[in-house]
Structure 1
Amino acid sequence: MSYFSLIQNSLLKPKNSVRAIASQLLRPKRLAIFEACLIGLVCGLAGVVLKTGVGWLGGWRVYTSLILPGWLILPSIGILGGLLTGFLIERFAPETAGSGIPHVKASLSGIPLALNGRVAVVKLIGTIIAVGSGLTLGRQGPTVQIGASLAAWISHWVPTSPEYRRQLIACGAAAGLAAGFNAPIAGVLFVVEELLQDISGLTLGPAIIASFIGAVVSQLLGGQSLNLNLAESNISFSAEEIPFYILLGIFAGLLGSLFTSGIVIALKLNRRYLKMGLPLRIALAGLICGLAVAVLPVSFRNNTGLRESLVTGDGNWQTSLIAFIAHFFLTIIAAGSGAPGGLFAPSLVLGSALGHLVGIMEVNLLGAGLASTYALAGMGAFFCAVCRAPITAVVIVFEITTDFKLVLPLMISSVVAYLVAEKAEKGSLYDQILEGSGIQLKKEKPDNDILNTVKAADVMQRRVETLSAQMTLDEAIVAFSRSHHRGFPVLNEGKLVGIITQRDLANVSERSLSGETLISEVMTTQPLTVFPEDTLSEVLYRLNRYNLSRLPVTEGRRLVGIITRSDIIRAESDRLTNEEAQMGPHPEKSYVVYQTRAPSTGQGRLLVPLANPQTAPALLELACAVAFQKNYELECVQVMLVSRRGSPAEMPVRTAKSRRLLQMAERAGRRWKVPVHTQIRVAHDMPQAILETIKERHIDLILMGWKGSTKTPGRIFGAAVDTLIRQASCDVVLVKWGKKVTEKDNLESPNCNAQSPTLNRWLVPMAGGPNAQRAVQLLPALVAVSRKPEIRLCQVQQPSIGQPDITVLEQASKFLGRRLNVPVIQMPICSSSVADALIDLAQKNQCDVVVLGASREGMLQQTIKGNIPEEIARSCNCTVMLVRSAAA
């Protein structure tokens, strides 16, 4: 099956219809805002569902334990909830074990881990059961993985690249955390500070929108995340308390590092020594948590109430000490089992208990502060020691309290805790968990990361075989029979409008369509494409996503090339073998010293290099006629050569004469109503400058003058012309003007309005190759310069062949008959010399133009067969045009 067939099949999926509709109705910026709003809304709703579910199940557990014996009910619910959670994770989504934040961090770093709707649903349900059944874990951490998974799921329904999908996942993670804490700013900062660790990889606008919408939805539908309700008098700060806040930071840093080490050790012990499945491990953790809470005071059964009592300073030092010790070990046990749940809420409880203890000590020694202020500062400090995100720690507590008097003590404690924790143990808990799972995150992208640095335009094939949307099925069948390709892009006025495959042609008989039916009626429309600016990673993502071998490259809707898996592999191989450095010195790039731009309204671009003021008027008239007929824009370039001893960008040049030549092109464009772009390039090498222009401006056709002969040894048509015929990625038309045209134009000043050259009688030899076919396809545009065109199609065959085969002549005549209302004469000729036969025919019929094909491969055989184009150009007084197809 061809890659076009695969594209065709993929277009039949409803998901792709959603992509097509979204991409057509919304511009990129609007689409990004729409996606951010959608992600924020969905993540906010998920946060509400999670909070409601955990609250309902946890409330039922506490209520039941008050009615029935707690020592029996709490462990039983813990065991049952652990078994159910473990089975759900093990059976449907093993990726949802743990807090999920390491999983998201690895995914954002380029590790191919699953993030989808299935992960989001399993994580949501598993967290509700685990946290609601009494495991000492929080619900805020899992919202990060839930939000990221929902965003990844949404990204499959809209046009995305790998980098853009990564940004959507980051938006979902931010929105998830914002919905968990009702802290939108902290959600964005946590993603930047901990998950990405680089702001350059995130477009802040969509992330902020998603985060704020997630927080608003969560607050409107789910209420406050932490009901602290602190009065202004509950927070105080004075300068003499600074040493105690530093002491709090030191304690938080040391104990936070011990806490993270305990979780890592517990995970390793569970993997190595506890030979049981995940359901049994979580059930065991549920049993231990249930028994421990059952013997503790009744207030410990409600984590939310305990946290609020610690923060408000209602509890005594014994309660704070017991709360810290109990939560410290029970959280390590629960997290070490692999249960789905977060560490944010336990960290806040541990921090508030530790801060409350330090606050009580400070009050007893100095009597200056309030224990509640230390409890809030302790929340941020311990959170920072665990997550190693000081900015997020400060902002998240500030957003909960919204009291500026808390900012300074909070910053002091958090920064000290971060420094102490980093000194005690390098790396955050999430990095250590990933390393324990065998995942090593790359700290930075290597400079030679070709997939993220090289663009599609750098490696794509610019010569693409295409078909016209106006071709019939009979003509398409002939094209398939002459090519090894199993599908072709279909163009209409230079725009990619579809693809046609062998399968499409096979289905024609079932639809009872005639051979005169246009291929536009049977082709597949809206093919999947990439842009020249897309990186190879984005191209590879789409190739893998849709199981394709190649993709068309478009600029707007204009086809500018095609890229295959082989192109990517070859580029990677060249980089690994340093082949670019082995190819020797390259000519220094040309430098644009002058340019003008017209509106880009055409369906393609025609390049005209201007050098000779005498033939420039006739060349411009022909170029304008072709551009007008094909609805092309005209790109005129004048190359100024400078010495190789200096850089083109540094050499002083005078552009007055060149500008007058380009102004002539602008006047011709205004007469023909054709958009004209102009530029002057300073270069060491003329063909290299023209090739650079072709690549940068995505040229479809180049039309340039040709002397008709060359005296350079080893050259066929001339140094510049040979290079362009071999290397130009577009169609090439070379024009050697006849005596009638040059004599007529010599009488005119270059500044005068040139009249159309006398090109009425056209002779087109047909050999059946791609260049002759392309010449016939261009002929309707070329003859636009003629007043009374008359076309002769000839085919020269050897006398020994016998009855000549005129199929090629008939097809070409039929093609021209549909597009031109002019006489088309078929002339099969038998002759042993192609050049002599064409010269005699041109002179006998007084032809004004001879149009010839010139392939890359044919040029190599000129020593055997002779240089036919040069011989004709030298012997004929008429104009001679060489046509080389981009696909040849």
Structure 2
Amino acid sequence: MKLDNIKRFKSVLYGALIGVVVGIFISLFRILIEFLSGIFLKIALYANNSLFLLFLLIFINLSLAIITYWLIISNHNIKGSGIPQVEGQLAGQLDYKWCPVFIKKFIGGVLSISSGLFLGREGPSIQLGATLAQGIAKLTHNEGVDRKIMISGGAAAGLSAAFNAPIASTLFVLEEIYHNFSTLVWTIALSAAVASNFISTAVFGKTPVLHMNYFHVIPLHIYPYLIGLGIFLGVFGKLYEFFTINIGSWYKKLNFIPNWVFVFIPFLLVIPIEMFIPNISGGGSNLVLTISKQSPAILTLIFFFLLRFVFSTMSYGTGVPGGIFLPMLSLGAVLGSIYAKILISLGLMSPIFFVNFIIVSMSAYFACISKSPFTAILLITEMVGSLQNLMALAFVTLAAYVVSDLLGSKPIYDEMLQNLLSPQKSSVRGNVVIINSSVFVGSKIDGKMVKNISWPDDTILSSINRNDNRIIPNGDTIIKAGDNLKISTNYSNRGYVHDYMKKLVNNY
């Protein structure tokens, strides 16, 4: 048996192990969030007629804010979504001890998300899965590249257990987080995602997370309106990216206000939302399902969008553990329903396609913000549980992606990672590490000889992986699109090298 075959077999076994462990813990994570959020919503409902319960809810939310604030100042690696931290780990730009991050992220995520803040469970689930995989790598004495591959498998398992979407979870890791389609990466990611999905399905059942009832496929004569929908979503996607990326810096400019105030405000503001419009609170899945069933009026939908847009960016800007994945999908659903309602009111479309527009808009809105179009299409397909909208999904997603690209949008998780890191500089300290970079078609170095490329300081191009073959390069070796470059450098130099290589190998 060839060595490569043995490696792939081991990857499947490690992936299955990671998937089972992550599936158990993320299922527990979901159970606790649903249990506590159910209790808090009941208290909020009865607080309409009870002053005592209102004060009790205020006390509970203030307590949650205090605990959450203490957790994030005790360990900054648990802040926010967690996806940028995982990207930073896999890029070699940051690292942290797995056990304290896992415990504090788990507790902080449960408390902040169950409180009703407009945050999703998927980002924390990805970081929790990656962190558990990091722990397994340590226990099994896997280091270097093998450790990174296991972390990527844990990330896929975390998202899969959160959304019951194993295929999209695998692609998200390859397309957005790891930025590498190597055989070992997708093998461990897929096996971990499938194993994790098996556990979560056993706990929560087979019904898709966003299952909707609809019986019609969008006909071709509606497709011109889908182009308009893509433009509409692309513009609002750029707005969401701008506000979400910058709100943290806006908070910092208000330096006369203590940081804890920004955490406490959302925990208090969410109380009237839970009391009077409970379906709009939380990550947004309940809102999406409610809109698909009730088809609210345009003014109501506009109100929902404005409230969720403002409060979701405000919630995320505090830095409390929680993701923007599901909030993005819910905003896309609301925008799609507004656009569909306008077409219906003008007599340009039948109401029977209303739900279809909600579905395709979720994919397009997520894609134009995250810059992960393939993940978006597959994710919505798995979350809805139907392939009927596949053509329309791809059509609108591509249109929104192009519009956001023309507006200068960048991948939101990459921007979040850069906000976490200081500017990277060259360094010669630390042990030797390997940085992996995949060459894109049309990049600056595609088709160039090694000797004609300006490589980052204090590095050596140690090898090139091309079509499962390992090449030891010399000055005359020509770099080709699809090559996976292994760059040797010092540990303290890894962030600088990653940023430098990113500019060389990408085509933008």
TM-score, with structure 2 as normaliser: 0.78
Alpha-carbon displacement from aligned partner over 1:432-471 (angstroms, at most 9, x marks no partner) = 222223356899488577466169xx9xxxxxxxxxxxxx
* 194-203 vs 382-391, which moves further: 194-203
Counterpart of 1:289 in structure 2 is: 270
Alpha-carbon displacement from aligned partner over 1:227-279 (angstroms, at most 9, x marks no partner) = 4443341x421112112221221111111111111112211022332456654
Say which of 102, 123, 132 aligns to 1:141. Answer: 123
| Cα distance in 1 between the residues matched to 2:43 and 2:31 | 18
Say which of 53, 64, 83 aligns to 2:43. Answer: 64
| Cα distance in 2 between the residues matched to 1:79 and 1:155 | 38
| Cα distance in 2 between the residues matched to 1:155 and 1:218 | 23
Matched, 1:416 2:399: yes
Query: Does the 8 Å contact 1:317/1:357 carry over to 2?
Result: yes
Counterpart of 1:812 in structure 2 is: none
> Residues 72, 328 of structure 1: CA spacing in aligned structure 2 closer, same or farther, 3 A cutoff?
farther
Which runs of 5 or more residues in structure 2 are unaligned? 1-5, 425-434, 439-453, 465-471, 473-485, 493-508
Say which of 173, 186, 203 aligns to 1:204. Answer: 186
> Aligned with 1:111: secondary structure?
coil
Q: Counting helix residues as a fraction of each chain, which structure ranks higher?
A: 2
Say which of 231, 250, 254 aligns to 2:213. Answer: 231
TM alignment of 1:649-728, pairs within 5 A: none
Matched, 1:179 2:161: yes
> Residues 444, 117 of structure 1: CA spacing in aligned structure 2 closer, same or farther, 3 A cutoff?
same
> Aligned with 2:389: secondary structure?
helix
> Residues 438, 272 of structure 1: CA spacing in aligned structure 2 closer, same or farther, 3 A cutoff?
farther
| Cα distance in 2 between the residues matched to 1:192 and 1:206 | 11
Query: Does the 8 Å contact 1:348/1:383 carry over to 2?
Result: yes
Alpha-carbon displacement from aligned partner over 1:514-551 (angstroms, at most 9, x marks no partner) = xxxxxxxxxxxxxxxxxxxxx8969x88xx9xxxxxxx
Alpha-carbon displacement from aligned partner over 1:69-114 (angstroms, at most 9, x marks no partner) = 38656554433322211112222x2200010111111111111321
| Cα distance in 1 between the residues matched to 2:270 and 2:411 | 26
TM-score, with structure 1 as normaliser: 0.46
| Cα distance in 2 between the residues matched to 1:338 and 1:56 | 23
Say which of 408, 418, 422 aligns to 1:425. Answer: 408
Query: Does the 8 Å contact 1:180/1:225 carry over to 2?
Result: no
> Aligned with 1:83: secondary structure?
helix
Counterpart of 1:402 in structure 2 is: 385
Query: Does the 8 Å contact 2:163/2:209 carry over to 1?
Result: no
Counterpart of 1:246 in structure 2 is: 227
Query: Does the 8 Å contact 1:43/1:175 carry over to 2?
Result: yes
Query: Does the 8 Å contact 1:256/1:385 carry over to 2?
Result: yes
| Cα distance in 2 between the residues matched to 1:409 and 1:313 | 23
> Residues 397, 164 of structure 1: CA spacing in aligned structure 2 closer, same or farther, 3 A cutoff?
same
Counterpart of 1:565 in structure 2 is: none
CA shift, 1:152, in A, is 0.9
Counterpart of 1:37 in structure 2 is: 16
| Cα distance in 2 between the residues matched to 1:423 and 1:215 | 37
CA shift, 1:116, in A, is 1.1
> Residues 386, 79 of structure 1: CA spacing in aligned structure 2 closer, same or farther, 3 A cutoff?
farther
Counterpart of 1:299 in structure 2 is: 279
TM alignment of 1:158-169, pairs within 5 A: 158-169=140-151
Matched, 1:341 2:350: no
Alpha-carbon displacement from aligned partner over 1:707-753 (angstroms, at most 9, x marks no partner) = xxxxxxxxxxxxxxxxxxxxxxxxxxxxxxxxxxxxxxxxxxxxxxx
Counterpart of 1:329 in structure 2 is: 310
Counterpart of 1:126 in structure 2 is: 108
Counterpart of 1:151 in structure 2 is: 133
Query: Does the 8 Å contact 1:51/1:222 carry over to 2?
Result: no
> Residues 29, 393 of structure 1: CA spacing in aligned structure 2 closer, same or farther, 3 A cutoff?
closer
> Aligned with 2:388: secondary structure?
helix
> Aligned with 2:304: secondary structure?
helix
Matched, 1:264 2:245: yes
Which runs of 5 or more residues in structure 1 are unaligned? 1-26, 459-534, 545-888
Counterpart of 1:390 in structure 2 is: 373
> Residues 366, 108 of structure 1: CA spacing in aligned structure 2 closer, same or farther, 3 A cutoff?
same
> Residues 41, 443 of structure 1: CA spacing in aligned structure 2 closer, same or farther, 3 A cutoff?
closer
Query: Does the 8 Å contact 1:99/1:141 carry over to 2?
Result: yes
* 251-260 vs 304-313, which moves further: 304-313
Alpha-carbon displacement from aligned partner over 1:797-856 (angstroms, at most 9, x marks no partner) = xxxxxxxxxxxxxxxxxxxxxxxxxxxxxxxxxxxxxxxxxxxxxxxxxxxxxxxxxxxx
CA shift, 1:36, in A, is 0.9
Matched, 1:114 2:114: no
> Residues 321, 225 of structure 1: CA spacing in aligned structure 2 closer, same or farther, 3 A cutoff?
farther
> Residues 274, 406 of structure 1: CA spacing in aligned structure 2 closer, same or farther, 3 A cutoff?
farther
Which amino acid counterpart does residue 384 of structure 1 have in structure 2? A
Counterpart of 1:318 in structure 2 is: 299
Root-mean-square deviation (CA, aligned residues, Å) is 2.9
Alpha-carbon displacement from aligned partner over 1:335-355 (angstroms, at most 9, x marks no partner) = 111011011111111111111
Counterpart of 1:53 in structure 2 is: 32
Alpha-carbon displacement from aligned partner over 1:27-70 (angstroms, at most 9, x marks no partner) = 65554332211110111112211111110111011100111238
CA shift, 1:426, in A, is 3.2
| Cα distance in 2 between the residues matched to 1:202 and 1:272 | 45
Query: Does the 8 Å contact 1:76/1:287 carry over to 2?
Result: no
Which amino acid counterpart does residue 34 of structure 2 have in structure 1? G
CA shift, 1:379, in A, is 0.9
> Residues 410, 313 of structure 1: CA spacing in aligned structure 2 closer, same or farther, 3 A cutoff?
farther
TM alignment of 1:612-627, pairs within 5 A: none
Which amino acid counterpart does residue 186 of structure 1 have in structure 2? A
Alpha-carbon displacement from aligned partner over 1:542-598 (angstroms, at most 9, x marks no partner) = xx9xxxxxxxxxxxxxxxxxxxxxxxxxxxxxxxxxxxxxxxxxxxxxxxxxxxxxx
Which amino acid counterpart does residue 57 of structure 1 have in structure 2? L
Say which of 181, 184, 194 aligns to 2:176. Answer: 194
Counterpart of 1:87 in structure 2 is: 70
> Aligned with 1:98: secondary structure?
coil
Counterpart of 2:442 in structure 1 is: none
| Cα distance in 2 between the residues matched to 1:243 and 1:179 | 37
Query: Does the 8 Å contact 1:144/1:176 carry over to 2?
Result: yes
Alpha-carbon displacement from aligned partner over 1:739-774 (angstroms, at most 9, x marks no partner) = xxxxxxxxxxxxxxxxxxxxxxxxxxxxxxxxxxxx
Query: Does the 8 Å contact 1:386/1:429 carry over to 2?
Result: yes
TM alignment of 1:242-641, pairs within 5 A: 242-275=223-256, 279-294=260-275, 296-301=276-281, 303-312=284-293, 314-364=295-345, 365-368=347-350, 369-439=352-422, 444=437, 450=459, 453=462
Alpha-carbon displacement from aligned partner over 1:317-348 (angstroms, at most 9, x marks no partner) = 33322221111000010011101101111111
TM alignment of 1:704-783, pairs within 5 A: none
| Cα distance in 2 between the residues matched to 1:393 and 1:29 | 27
Alpha-carbon displacement from aligned partner over 1:107-160 (angstroms, at most 9, x marks no partner) = 111113215122122111111100111211011121111111111111011232
Q: Counting strand residues as a fraction of each chain, which structure ranks higher?
A: 1
| Cα distance in 1 between the residues matched to 2:291 and 2:172 | 25
> Residues 210, 453 of structure 1: CA spacing in aligned structure 2 closer, same or farther, 3 A cutoff?
same
> Aligned with 1:453: secondary structure?
strand
> Aligned with 2:139: secondary structure?
coil
| Cα distance in 2 between the residues matched to 1:225 and 1:431 | 32
Query: Does the 8 Å contact 1:135/1:334 carry over to 2?
Result: yes
Which amino acid counterpart does residue 397 of structure 1 have in structure 2? I
Structure number with higher relative contact order (C-alpha < 8 Å, ≥ 6 residues apart): 2
Query: Does the 8 Å contact 2:212/2:289 carry over to 1?
Result: no
Which amino acid counterpart does residue 453 of structure 1 have in structure 2? S
Which amino acid counterpart does residue 392 of structure 1 have in structure 2? T
| Cα distance in 1 between the residues matched to 2:149 and 2:436 | 18
- Equivalenced residues, count: 435
